[in-house]
Structure 1
Amino acid sequence: MRAPEPLTGARVVVVNWRDLDHSLAGGAEIYAWQFARALAEAGAQVHFVTARERGRDGGQAAREDRDGIAVRRGGGPLTFYLFALAWLLRHRRRIDAVIDPACGLPSFSPLVLRRGTPALLVVHHVHQAQFAVHFPAPVAAFGRWMERVAMRRVYRRHVTAAVSASTVAQMRDQLGWTGDIRILENGAELPDPQQVDAAAKDPDRIVVLGRLVAHKRVDLALTAIRRAQERAELAGRRLSVDVVGRGPEQERLVALAADLGLADQVTFHGFLPTADKDALLARASVHVCASDAEGWGQAVIDAAAHGVPTVARDVPGLRDSIRPGESGWLVPDSQQPSDVVERLTAALTGALAEAADPRARQLRADACRAWAAKYDWSQMRLHAADLTIHLLGRVSALPDRHHPRDARVAV
């Protein structure tokens, strides 16, 4: 007789602001869905509570079953939190545990759960600096207080996880978090090795991956590419750029590309199905990421899995997902955008010079793929299931694989 799955009978809810089908879905949504998949594969009954995006065609369905997971949608960008708390309160007697990722802010699920119901807070990165980028001053101040004070108080008796050592450090330094923080890193969809052919890559093709939002600073990446093009022209090279992602910054970035004289060299693809994105990565030689900060560089690992190294700023999240000198290059950060652009340009110019050498391109692609292989989603799901089993008290201790690479982080 087959042994029961370790989470058989457990009723677990994953609460995430957006799901995979939301127009602004990004790495956090992939992570949340992979977590939900891990629970379902381990035998749990899983509900995924998320916002409902509406459109001219009616938008997303309020209820959907997908991959064995019951998706329940309601509320908009702000009212989602009220919807989520109301849903949890209504179903609290049928909930054994909640996985509560903080997408800026978490749902604050412990406020409505039964006493003793465990909630796992998952923090991607700290948003103290980003609230001011997206909201007016009074709203930004309230958001900072919610993240710095309210979140710590509500979750102080619950297990907390972060996606990288950088996020742990930010939680300690900026939020005053003193309790244990476990590390549950992201993953990647690793392509078939036969799909990665460094010899077939275009040495003049650059890719930029990620949502087109302000803090991703795609504007800095495009400006650096323009300057790198000026240097490449001296060698008779013409760069091509694929921007993959969608978001509210797209119109401004299209205009910027035109102003920089790159209109006929930059293609804005918007959202692409996995197969189409993989086809672009198969051709690209360099990935550029100029984000202000990340919890974890999901796009970086996705690129590395296809043998594409990344040029990026040395900021939280990116310094965790890039192995300098092997899977990419980190440039010193600065508060001055002009300094950042200058440093990105220098690193990108060097990366493109290396890409022009077939042997160097092959060695770099091999190093990238070896690094990415450490972060496949199957490993993440295994770790997520272990952590939830521990959360529910079904094991007294976690396997050694949960120990973070940074020994300074308590587990």
Structure 2
Amino acid sequence: MPVLMRARRRDEEHRTATPLELFFDLCFVVAIAEAGRQLAHALAEGQPGHGITGYLMLFFAIWWAWMNFSWFASAYDTDDPLYRVVTLVQMAGVLVLAAGVPRAFTHSDFTVIWFGYLVMRLALVTQWLRAAHACRGAERRTALRYALGVTVCQIGWLGLLALPKGDVPWVFVVVGPLELAVPALAEREQQTTWHPHHIAERYGLFTIIVLGETIAAATVAVQSALDENDELSALLPIAGGGLLLVFAAYWIYFAVPIHLHLRSNRQAFLWGYGHYPVFGSAAAIGAGIEIAVEETFGKAHLSAFAAAACVTVPAALFMATVWLIHSRHQKRGPAQQLVLPVSSLLVLVCTFAGRWAVLAAGLVACGTVAVGVALTSRQGTALVE
């Protein structure tokens, strides 16, 4: 017999991510890789409008699917057989979603993605209904509102199938904000008992997943270029700069003990939603490095400046958004507060360095880390960079 799905305590000690959660995260590697690959292909073909719009829509679908599970699990993870089976069903839906990314990107055909989402959302609604069955009063009403909200939004996504392909972006414009509103509406009476340290760890682990995919994409691009051209000298600045960017991104993100900031939904929701550009830009860095490699050998239909921007713009966006939603809460004094905003502007300036732009951006990112460490040591505060 399955156990009752009672809420876990927010002050529970030693709360960490489970093996099932780590397994769940790994299923998103395929979806993130496909979205990044399609973005790189579209930009390399000189279709920035189509590439960026498609990437933003598809990455929203990937990110929101991960968000739905992660916050629910932080409050209601019972880890009994029924919970595990339903979670595995959600993982199957993620893999279906990943399989539909190429068709959605190239042909605006969201049929497979919608079906994958349907599998995930039905499983999630089942989880919320199970939680409602075990709860009473305001907690029960919160769970039921979540189940209803998720169901209504899933019906709204039918617009992806029913409307002309040219109207697909409008479906995201309408239904996307409705999705974002569901947690606030569901928890207006009582907050779920998500765990600050646990949810911060979950976001950190997904950041590692995204940065790992960036490294993988860049490595494949460099390897393919070497196999075809055997010109190591032309690739070294891109490979080295890209590696420095990813290493610096890791350092910048994980230097802050953010769980201390997550005291209630007011802070946590803004922080959680703000990770859409954080995750999206981190994954886009890998696509940008692919484009920079292709442009170096004349395989991309865009200028050296545009290819450089494909790396520097997402890198600068990552630094700026990490500061805005994450790092600034632990800064002390104007000097520390200005490090990341100024560095993001300097990374954008590196775009004008042409084929040396990736290396220049990587050096700026490393300089950002060095300055942050120096300021921290001098001021005697917690490590913030």
Query: What TM-score do the two structures reach when normalised by structure 2?
Result: 0.29
> TM-score, normalized by length of structure 1?
0.28
Higher strand share: 1
* Bigger relative CO (Cα 8 Å, ≥ 6 apart): 2
